[in-house]
Structure 1
Amino acid sequence: MPPAADTASARGEDAHDGGTTAPGAAGGDDGRSRASESGPHGPAGDRRSAGPSSPGGDPPAPVPGVPRGRPPRNAPGAPWRAPTAAALLSCLVFCLGGLLAGSYPFGPTTRNTVDLGQQYLPFHAYWRRLLLGETDGDLFLNWNSGFGSNFLGDYGTYLSSPFDLMVLLFPADRIELALYAVTVAKISAAAAAMALLLPRLRPGPWPVAAVLGTAYALCGWTLNYAATVPMWLDGLLAFPLLCLVGEWARAGRRPLLGPLVVAIAWYANFYTAYMATVGAAVVLFVRLCTADDGARRRLAGLLRAARSVLVGIGLAAPLIVVIFLATRVAQPTPETSFTAVPWPEVFARLLPATASVASPALFIGTPALALALTLPFNRAVAAGVRWAWTAAICLVALSMQWEPTHLLWHAGASPNGIPYRQTFVLCGLLLIAAWLSTASGPPRTPALLGAGTLLTVLTLSSLGNPVVDRWTYPAFAAALALVVLAAAALLLARHRAAGARVLPAAAVVLLVLAQAGETAITGARIERQQLSRVSWSPRLGPWHTDTAEATASKDAWPRYRTDPGEVPGGNDVLLVGGQGADYYSSLTSEVLSGTLTSLGFGSYAKGRHPVSLDNPVTDALFSVGTRIRSTPSAPPRTDRLPEAAVTVTDTPVPPLVTVRPGLRPTAHGFRHGASAFDNQEALLGADVYEVPAAPRRANGPRGAVTLTVGCPAGAQVWFWAPRYRGTAVLGDRRPVAFAGGPPSVMAPMGRLGTVPDSGEVRIVLRPAGKLVLPERPVGCLVEERLTTAVEAATATGATSVRTSGHTLTAELPPGSTGTAVVAVPRISGWTCAAGDADPVPARSHLGLIAVPLDGTQTTVGCSFRPPGLRLGGAVGAAALLCLLATALRHRFLRRTGRVHPACTSGTSGGN
């Protein structure tokens, strides 16, 4: 070990840009491991005795104006220069990309495409209201969505990140801006975390760490995927933080902070945190293999890392177990078989302005990519380090293209939609490679030539690929030109003392311009491509405001439900209030989806997004007493958001809890293949439809098909064909559109008009594709029968209903017998009791909560507790005990002097 390193270790000082460390930490290693990584002559950045014939390779030439070796320990703010600069730069570049794209909040174009507008924005709006105490439910139960849904599972999936508390800083009508601010804050934090990690792996100049941290936070994965899926950005932040936990474990430092960091990462978003943990394990493995440590020390570091991960995951278990169990009972999605994309397309995704959801978004910027490609050829880095990191990156890239390891990255289940969700880990590894090759000085000419050759091969292999944008090669060429100018400035500075300060500064400026400019253009082009393909989720505006005001004026929950109908977007009730069926979540229960589909409700997203059904029978079944209907009042201008014509309709409906004398709850659901009309009658307990036998068909011109049936005069004609896409017309009335067809979309039952006096119903269908109809697609609702059924259910139903948070209590008429049916889906977690009996798991009647009655009870009470909460709490308590035991042990060792001085210093080992 060089004497200077001995001295630094004895003082507990850092071997990099600020901070303190213990031997084996930061810079990651003690003197021996640093020698292993940089050659036999000490750190690559501090080779005072190495010459051209050194076994470690040619030493890097000094960069004029950039101090070599360790910076002064007392430099003010030294440890935070790189993270601060990276956070500010990433924020600026991301916003610049939005400005160039003309998207919100810098332009009139919405960012709310697909799930950003349908899921994440409404959930954040509801989260703000919940935090302010303005909702009917609590953290356990959401009374507004899906007629009552498990909110704790949704919270853990979409809202558990600490950053999501930022919604409180914005008014209710600026929730889009709040979500954008959350997105920017997460990206900036990820940039800062990577910039904080890199100097811990090897000392180096903070401006380069800042640029590479920005490159990581604004990689193609962020711009193409995560910028519109803000929960995934927590994984982007988790990866460098978990790598830091690995570094602390290697050095035996921060035994308390490490598990807490893991816990926060998994609590914020366990899905991407899992991928980040796998990636951090790869980094730790390479670090252990390349360090000049004994087997015992390596094993100890590995065990400490495993302890931190297990305890941290255990601390987050109360939420993770709830999500896991909610996933098991969620509406299943069709199985997806993984198909690897061709390698030329993978290489093309390294270039700027490429976009696709079917291939890995590997863009990290041409400057950063060029630096990463120099590592295999950079003889200034020890051979073992070069080849270990190169092999790790190649193996991770290969693992993304092989189905068994693809499943490993995704916890055993191939995802629907974007298949390469782990790409941010590979981007992070590439940027670590760029840092290791550059931290001790600019790569020399042979390394630059090798990288240039690889870059040329990658570029040529991408020619003609469909993911390449018209801006790809111009942006790439411009960035590459700036990189060449920066390299020339550094080469010139080596031979001209006159430019010792100006030229290196100019090189840094050129590097920043190249990276930032190319990234901003890439972000803008990707956003424009996304908006051009899917732009049907509008911004919030007058339509939502008017509907919300109408809903609030009529809300009488829990006396009855108020359904706001469908407004643009999704999860409408979370945006405008009410208690409807509309609900879009990855955790939509199979019970809810199956029950509503069987009753004629429509759905999107393979059943995970049931939508409202405007039907008087289902309104009676679910106690929807007020229905809001809204339509655009006029076509919107390009500079104005659409307004809506809002109408409010009140209808007498039974209470939320009805009593069915003589009914015994059914343990099963609806009969498979039964008509939605039959299912509605079965749940209502009355015959209200005339459902004709299979209609007569007659083919007409231009693919039209005419259906003819007979029904009672004056009845309402309802058409039910969940797989039908096209229009249906009754007589001379206006066509009604149906949007079924693909497996992911089910069309809701629709009203066509009134049966004429002749009793003959002729429906003309104009299908947009293959005609797929159920056996009995037509039902005629006799309104007098429905009125009688509603009056009977009201007479025997609950006299009052109260709800609070996640509980429901109903007062029943004396002597009630049979079964009390609660108009709430019987999802997992409900317990009920009649009278003073002990609560038991709720029974089900055709998908709704059912409570047997014997005539002696006058009350029914139900309570919801998310499944897994008790088990997760037990695991979390055990993990907390382990953490406390670790704290006591660490305190004891400090008192007895058995901990290295660096581990007891306030800035290094303290927690």
Structure 2
Amino acid sequence: MRSPGAGHGLGAGLGATVAMAAFLMSGVVRGTYPFGERSRAVNDLGNQFVPFHAHLWDLLHGTSSGDLFFNWNSAFGVPYWAEFVSFLSNPFSLLVAAFPRRLVDLGVYTGACLSIGLGSAVMVLWLRRLRPGPWWQAGLLGAAYGLSGWTLNDGAFDPMWLWGLTAFPLMLLALDRCTRERGWLWAAPMVGLAWAGNAYTSLMALAGTAVVGVVLWATHEWSRTETMRFAGRATLAFTLGTALAAPVIWPSYLAAANAQSMPALPYNPPSPLGYLLQLLPAQRAFGSLPRFFVGMLALLLALAFPLSRHIRARTRTAWCVALLAVAASFCWLPTVRVWYGLTQPNGSPYRATLVLTGLLVSVAWLCLAHRPRPGPLLAAGAVTCVIAAASVRDENGVSPLTWLVVLGSGGLTLALLLLLARERGGGPLPRPLTAAALTAVVLAESAASAVAVDEQRDKLAFFAPKPTWGARHDAVYEAVARVGGWPAHRTDTGPAEIVNNDPQLLDSEGPSYYSSYLPRQTARLMRRLGYSWTMHGRHLIPQDNPVADAIFSVGARVRHADGPGQVRVERFPAPPLVTVQPRDTPRPPAGSSTFLHQQAVLGQEVYELPRITFTGPDGAAADGPPRLRAGGPYRLTAAGTPYRITARCRPGSRLYVDGPWTDALLSGPGGKSVRMWGDYPEKATATKPLGTVPADGRVTVTVGKVFRDTELPHSPLGCLDPGKLRRAIAELRSRGATHVAAGGHSVRAALPAGSSGTAVVATARTPGWRCAVDGGPMRSPHSRLGLLAVPLPDASEHELHCVFRPPGLRLATAASAGAAVLLLFLSAWRYAHGRRPADGGGRTWRRRVDTTRTGSARESTPTGKSL
């Protein structure tokens, strides 16, 4: 006979193989990368995960300017530890190091495929611990879990979430360990591993494990002592496991608390019919819904489970209540928030649907392992037909492929299940042909579901994919490598973004950044200095402004040309990364224009801020549109256009317009037009160049179209004097650092003799920095209008040294080390004092199946006494 361990391995292997094969088959059918020209990089996969993995490639190959603590590439320097442990701590992320950098997309895709396979395999292990049964049947249900509706709609395009496929069954296996008298301490490192792969989905997995823990308690006839011991073991093991992963959890929490805030989307509970239809595979309804289908095999078995009277009523009741409770929890905002640590997510509120898919598969396995009878299976088929018929009333996301899968695959699956139900005796394996046929059906159905979901998603403009690495990427990447000079100067890839994280993708040092961990200090500093943002500040966008370039030591810019492989490179003088400024710098009043903020940070007056006059549509001069408040911005309406703004500036100066929250089309001297797309507070527009001031000094700016009721600052125009800017840069260079060395998360600068005032580093002052002057004690730096600043003790030649450490990491590391020591102590103590006789070792309180009866399963205790 095959050993149980061999069965575990074969089942896990089958589950992983079927899930990955179906995922790859869907790519072949759709012609998606790497099997065709169609990119898979939709939404965050293209904007975040591919660039983040490109940055990881640089880190692993030693070519990055930063390290795991700090990222010098993005937003002129941002903390990185929380991003790493959230976006890149899935072990399969390391695979990108084995691919050429231009094939980083393929590395991400491969890691996602393997994550699906691993999650399927670990689920198989949990199913066979939940109840013994044929390994191949557990493997098929594990594959159904790996390619559930949650995976195809949410997880496949957020590789960090795919670790949740592994974290949930891994925590369930840890919970199972806690039912044993020996070896239960292994649960702690299992929990720690689950947390370490991705804390976000592991939080949801922990909540789901708590639900299963209640179910186990309800279905076991334990004594009070046994119940208390199980609860104590589980509490201690999960606490120690969480503490082991503290360096992942606690710094991420602090980083999220310090991140630029973004309001949660309004919560709309799913409609009853729309929710019910999510049981059907091969469909993707438009709109936000819990997507939890797990295929026809698991669906038929889950529907048959409550009707299977040969299974204990207590078992059926407990699992059905758990399923209904979890499903209902997605329909009420207070319980939705529980899944996310008592917060409301900024995007879909149904990301925790992963847990519901795992519970459905567990229930399906309990039904299958108890050898379902034909009656409940036929009833399940009838219920499925009723649900399918209901979709006629709501064809949202339903396609012909949906009907083919539901009716065709469902009919074949039901027939094969009925065939299995008729088999009696003959050993542990059914007829090989039946097993092969059911495997083929599950494989084909899973691939068809993935194709159907992709087809429906492609109908939405929001999911237009980002391009895979091509000629344009090569051109910009090679240009950055030619002109890059970090830390002597920064290189910006310009406002024509390829993705939202170009600096990481292309290894430059620009302002672009898109992350939920973007520090609010960075976001607000860059907004004051004229940079664009979207998503309420979580996505920073470059601007084309030489004053901002001087502030942040940008000395080269790559400009995109029309051709896919053509770029143009600009080089210009830039101050060093570390400059010396006067000790006391007045802060511009609240609500001041971007131009005043730029001058204050630069320490030089380079703009002329002219008085403006508005002319209405009838040509009559006026004081301008009504102000929103005294001294505040002007209100613009579509009915009032066209507006004309006139002013006088020095001839030859460069005209810029500042309208962060303006949604209008403006044109300046020479007919140059710019589109301002501001929408307070979600979208902010950068300062825009409007041409050169003509020889007569008269400037006319026309607001030709207002797209919605909007506003314009009370001082919207700034005329930049190029000569003054050149002199300001020369002065900053003369009193700036003579040498700068930037480590992975540190800066060293040698300042010239006679330096006095404040040393300013061209990066935002975020929590975690410590600085010292001339080898003195490390202290928290100051903030100079948002930049990192260190007061100099006297007028002398100084050495500045600043180091960044992720806030909370030291305390979290100590907690992790303490948990490891305690775990080792408990293990040694149990080994020395808790050994049991050989015949009693490994006893468990879990339910055991008495296989001596045919037609029913009898629960028994380890001693054989009937429960």
TM-score by length of 2: 0.90
Conserved? CA contact 1:665–1:850, under 8 Å? no
After superposition, give the CA deviation of every residue in 1:34-87 in whole Å (9 maximum; x if it has no partner): xxxxxxxxxxxxxxxxxxxxxxxxxxxxxxxxxxxxxx3547832211100000
- Contact kept, 8 Å, 1:87 with 1:191, in 2: the verdict is yes
Residue 302 of structure 1: CA displacement? 1.8
Could you tell me how far apart the structure 2 residues matched to 1:128 and 1:536 are?
A: 22
Instruction: Report the counterpart of residue 218 of structure 1 in structure 2.
Output: 147
Match of 2:728 among 761, 783, 789: 789
1:753 to 2:691 alignment: yes
The secondary structure found in structure 2 opposite 1:727 is strand
In the TM superposition, what is the alpha-carbon distance from 1:672 to its structure 2 partner? 2.9
- Return closer, same or farther for 1:631/1:769 CA change in 2, 3 Å cut-off: farther
Stretches of structure 1 that go unaligned for 5 or more consecutive residues are: 1-71, 634-642, 905-911
Q: Which residue of 2 aligns with 1:664?
A: 584
Distance 1:704 1:483 in 2: 67
**For residue 252 of structure 1, what is the aligned residue in structure 2?**
181
Counterpart contact for 2:204–2:340, Cα < 8 Å: yes
The equivalences for 1:473-552 within 5 A come to 473-490=403-420, 504-533=431-460, 534-552=463-481
1:672-821 superposed matches below 5 A? 672-699=590-617, 704-741=642-679, 743-765=681-703, 766-821=705-760
Aligned counterparts of 2:752 and 2:170: Cα–Cα separation in 1: 60
CA distance in 2 between counterparts of 1:195 and 1:478 reads 26
Deviation at 1:504? Answer: 4.5
Partner of 2:626: none
Deviation track 1:827-861 (CA, whole Å, cap 9, x = no partner) reads: 11011122232110111011101111222451221
Question: Is 1:450 matched with 2:367?
Answer: no
User: Which of 811, 817, 832 is the matching residue for 1:871?
Assistant: 811
Q: How has the CA–CA distance of structure 1 residues 136 and 357 changed in structure 2, closer, same or farther, with 3 Å as cutoff?
A: farther
Say if 1:84 and 1:742 are closer, same or farther in 2 by CA, change over 3 A: farther
2:801 alignment partner, one of 861, 866, 874 = 861
Does residue 825 in structure 1 map to residue 752 in structure 2? no
Which of 489, 503, 524 is the equivalent residue of 1:573? 503
Deviation (angstroms), 1:483:
2.1
Q: Which moved more, 1:890-899 or 1:789-798?
A: 890-899
Deviation at 1:677, TM superposition (A): 0.8
**Deviation larger for 196-205 or 225-234:** 196-205
Determine helix, strand or coil for the equivalent of 2:92.
helix
- Residues 856-897 of structure 1: CA deviation (Å, up to 9, x unaligned): 451221111110011101211111111111211222136575
Q: Report the counterpart of residue 47 of structure 1 in structure 2.
A: none
Read off the aligned partner of 2:443 and give its amino acid letter: A
Deviations 1:264-310 (A, max 9, x none): 11111011001101111111221121112212112211211111111
* 1:146-161 alignment runs, 5 A limit: 146-161=75-90
Describe the shift of the 1:370–1:397 C-alpha distance in structure 2 as closer, same or farther (beyond 3 A): same
Residues 1:695 and 1:262: Cα distance change in structure 2 (over 3 Å): farther
Distance apart, 1:560 and its partner CA: 1.3
Q: Secondary structure at the match of 1:375?
A: helix
Identical aligned residues as a percent: 35
Give yes or no for contact 2:284–2:457 (8 Å, CA) kept in 1.
no
> Would you say how many aligned residue pairs link Structure 1 and Structure 2?
817
Q: Which segments of 5 or more consecutive residues in structure 2 lack a partner in the other structure?
A: 619-637, 845-867
Between 1:526-535 and 1:812-821, the stretch displaced more is 526-535
Mean CA deviation greater in 150-159 or 346-355: 346-355
Secondary structure of 1:288's match?
Answer: helix
Partner Cα separation in structure 2 for residue 206 and residue 219 of structure 1: 20
Cα pair 1:113 1:531 within 8 Å, conserved = no
Task: Give the Cα separation in 2 of the matches to 1:772 and 1:390.
Answer: 55
Q: What residue identity is the alignment partner of 1:752? A: L
Give the conservation status (yes or no) of the 8 Å contact 2:181–2:842. no
Q: C-alpha separation between the residues in 2 aligned to 1:322 and 1:721? A: 36
User: How far apart are 1:160 and its partner, in Å?
Assistant: 1.2
Q: How far did residue 582 of structure 1 move?
A: 1.2
Report how far residue 198 of structure 1 moved.
0.8
Distance 2:673 2:558 in 1: 22
SS of equivalent to 2:757: strand
Q: 1:697 to 1:208 in 2, by over 3 A?
A: farther
Q: Could you list the per-position Cα deviations for residues 210-250 of structure 1 after superposition, in whole angstroms to 9, with x for gaps in the alignment?
A: 11101101100000011000101111111111111111101
**Aligned mate of 1:94, from 1, 23, 31:** 23
In the alignment, residue 568 of structure 2 is paired with which amino acid? T
What is the CA distance between 1:539 and its match in structure 2?
Answer: 1.6
State the TM-score, normalizing by the size of structure 1: 0.86
On the 8 A contact 1:564/1:577 being kept in 2, the answer is: no
1:651 aligns with 2:572: yes
Q: How far is 1:433 from its partner?
A: 0.7
Q: Counterpart amino acid of 1:192?
A: A
Query: What letter matches 1:846 in structure 2?
Result: L
1:624/1:153 Cα in 2 relative to 1: closer, same or farther (>3 Å)?
A: same
Q: Deviations over 1:194-221 (max 9, x none)?
A: 1111111111112211111011011000
Aligned 1:332-411 pairs, distance under 5 A: 332-352=261-281, 353-356=283-286, 358-411=288-341
Note the alpha carbon deviations across 1:636-694, whole angstroms, 9 max, x for none: xxxxxxx1421111111211111113x3267xx76432211111011111211122334
SS of 1:841's equivalent?
Answer: coil
Q: What is the alpha-carbon distance in structure 1 between the residues aligned to residue 668 and residue 596 of structure 2?
A: 22
Other structure's SS at 1:901 match = coil
Alpha-carbon distance change, 694 to 461 in structure 1, aligned in 2, over 3 angstroms: farther
Q: Residues 124 and 538 of structure 1: is their aligned pair in 2 closer, same or farther, counting only changes over 3 Å? A: same
Q: CA offset at residue 632 of structure 1?
A: 3.0
Tell which deviates more after alignment, 186-195 or 800-809: 800-809
Per-residue CA deviation, residues 405-449 of structure 1 (Å, 9 max, x unaligned), is 11111111110111101101011111111111111213331x124
Question: What is the CA–CA distance in structure 1 between the aligned matches of 2:190 and 2:429, rounded to whole Å?
Answer: 41
Q: 1:232 to 1:685 in 2, by over 3 A?
A: same
Decide whether aligned partners of structure 1 residues 368 and 157 sit closer, same or farther in structure 2, where only a CA change above 3 A counts.
Answer: same
Partner of 2:788, secondary structure, is strand
The match for 1:135 is 64
Q: CA RMSD in A?
A: 2.4
- Matched residue type, 1:664: D
Shift of residue 503, structure 1, vs aligned partner? 8.5
1:339-359 Cα distance to aligned partner (Å, 9 max, x none): 311111111122121244511
Q: Hey, what's the Cα distance between the residues in 2 that align with 1:807 and 1:503?
A: 64
Question: 1:469, CA displacement in angstroms?
Answer: 2.3
Q: Distance in 1 between matches of 2:839 and 2:646?
A: 88
Per-residue Cα deviation, 1:169-198 (whole angstroms, up to 9, x for no partner): 211111000000000010000110111111
Q: CA deviation at 1:464?
A: 3.2
Secondary structure, counterpart of 2:514 in structure 1: coil
Q: Match of 1:295? A: 224
Aligned to 1:6: none
Q: Which is further off, 687-696 or 746-755? A: 687-696
8 Å contact kept, 1:562–1:626 = yes
Question: Aligned-pair distance for 1:899?
Answer: 9.7
> 5 Å matches for 1:116-195?
116-195=45-124
Change in Cα spacing, 1:866 to 1:75, as seen in structure 2 (3 Å) is closer
Q: Superposed, which structure 2 residues align to 1:67-82 within 5 Å?
A: 72=1, 74=3, 77-82=6-11
Equivalent-residue separation in structure 1 for 2:136 and 2:429 (angstroms): 15
Counterparts of 1:506 and 1:399 in 2: how far apart (Å)?
Answer: 41
Moved more, 257-266 or 479-488: 479-488
State whether residues 630 and 646 of structure 1, in contact with CA within 8 Å, keep that contact through their aligned partners in structure 2: yes
Whether the 8 Å CA contact 2:323–2:359 is kept in 1: the answer is yes
2:779 to 813, 821, 840: 840
1:717 shift after superposition: 1.1
**Once structures 1 and 2 are overlaid, which stretch shifts more, 670-679 or 455-464?**
455-464
Q: How does 1:1-16 map to 2 (within 5 A)?
A: none
How many Å separate the matches in 2 of 1:707 and 1:464? Answer: 56
Contact 1:809/1:861 (<8 A) preserved: yes
Residues 315, 876 of structure 1: 8 Å contact kept: yes
Deviation of 1:337 (Å): 4.1
